[in-house]
Amino acid sequence: MIDKSDQKKRRPARAAVAVDGSPPLLPARLRLGLRQLEVFVATAREGSTRAAADRVARSQSAASTALAELEAVVGVQLFDRVGRRVLLNENGRALLPRAQSLLDDAAELEGLFSGAHEAPLRVAASFTIGEYLLPERVSRWMLTHPASPVQLRIGNTREVVEAVAAFDADVGFIEGPQTHPDLVVHPWLSDELVIVAAPDHPLAGRVATQRQLAQATWVLREQGSGTRQVADAWLVQYLPQVKVGIELGSTEAIKHVVAAGGWLGCLSRHAVAQSLADGQLVALDTRLPLPTRRLSMVLRRDKRPGRTTADFIRHCGGQAGTGRR
């Protein structure tokens, strides 16, 4: 015998009915696919469907079809066609950060339960940070997050800004005051610049005057470097002239040139700490106030950091909020 109460319990739930008695409204079927977005992002980066097809391992015809389907779904053109190249228009520029965020989230979902290695975390850093501050942090990260490898790209501040703006890096660490309309800058650490020389330099072991500093020959970082921007602003403010003899794109190279004698350098205290401790370089005494600067992290303004990126930012001592500000 079946109890009526059991019938009530087993009776299937009915779909909700609208107040006016019309059939229930079902969610519209999504026509936008991740493959379409993948081709769109690749095309935006590469500038052609042929190169995009190579990037996502599809045929060119399949990539062109996916792009046409996406434009049909959203109802607008996303690119301007110029010969064989395609250039993002204003519609495409509006979609790009949202599309990239969706692809990043999808990649995280795919690896959520697989136990496989996650996609590499792409980090860009300017030279001082990438060579002297991040290596130890990346090493500690890998010890606690062995499934989350880091690809560290080192360049000057301008190159780091461009990499994050172009979606080629998930987060950037910079030294200079450069900004970009698509990025938001978060303060990170503080730094100080020092004037360094070889131990046998004529100005070593004495208080160097402004006149002596102006007559000296300097080896400085290249234009576009955050260290160079701060050094230029500081030296020009206090010295009647700055005689730049050599410009180099490497902090290590500058340290070697200065240690050889005859030159002055202006570098981050983080970058010269070991050389000062070893006696390879000395910090000059001057009556000038030492310049301080803020080291910063940069993120896309319109793209939410993924889980791995947010965890890495917190690991490095930063705030892992959204990029929007």
Shared domain check, 278 and 232: yes
Contact between 71 and 64 (Cβ < 8 Å):
no
Q: How far apart are CA 266 and CA 275, in angstroms?
A: 13
Shared domain check, 180 and 125: yes
DSSP code per residue over 216-267: SEEEEEPTT-HHHHHHHHHHHHH-S--EEEEEES-HHHHHHHHHTSS-EEEE
Given this model, what pLDDT does residue 2 score?
40
Shared domain check, 219 and 183: no
Shared domain check, 273 and 128: no
User: In the beta sheet, which residues pair with residue 77?
Assistant: none
Domain containing 74 equals 34-110
Domain boundary among 59, 77, 110: 110
Contact between 195 and 220 (Cβ < 8 Å):
no
CB atoms under 10 Å from CB of 30, counted, come to 7
Shared domain check, 307 and 174: yes
CATH code of the domain covering residue 151: 3.40.190.10
Task: Give a yes or no: residue 219 inside a domain.
Answer: yes
Shared domain check, 160 and 237: no
Shared domain check, 212 and 132: no
Given this model, what pLDDT does residue 118 score?
62
Given this model, what pLDDT does residue 111 score?
66
Given this model, what pLDDT does residue 198 score?
97
Shared domain check, 287 and 199: yes
Q: Which residues of the chain have pLDDT under 70?
A: 1-29, 111-119, 319-325
Shared domain check, 180 and 305: yes
Shared domain check, 185 and 104: no
Contact between 312 and 121 (Cβ < 8 Å):
yes
Given this model, what pLDDT does residue 49 score?
83
**Domains in the chain: how many in total?**
3
Q: Which residues of 204-217 are buried (b: 16+ CB within 10 A; e: fewer)?
A: beeebeeebbeebe
Given this model, what pLDDT does residue 47 score?
85
Shared domain check, 305 and 272: no
Task: Give a yes or no: residue 157 inside a domain.
Answer: yes
Given this model, what pLDDT does residue 36 score?
87
Given this model, what pLDDT does residue 238 score?
94
Q: Which phi-psi region, left, alpha or beta, contains residue 150 (left: φ > 0; alpha: ψ -120 to 50)?
A: beta
Given this model, what pLDDT does residue 291 score?
87
pTM for this model (two decimals) = 0.67
CATH code of the domain covering residue 198: 3.40.190.290
Task: Give a yes or no: residue 323 inside a domain.
Answer: no
Task: Give a yes or no: residue 19 inside a domain.
Answer: no
Task: Quote the tokens at residue 12.
Answer: 């299937």
Q: How far apart are CA 104 and CA 128, in angstroms?
A: 29
Domain boundary among 110, 133, 151: 110
Shared domain check, 287 and 198: yes
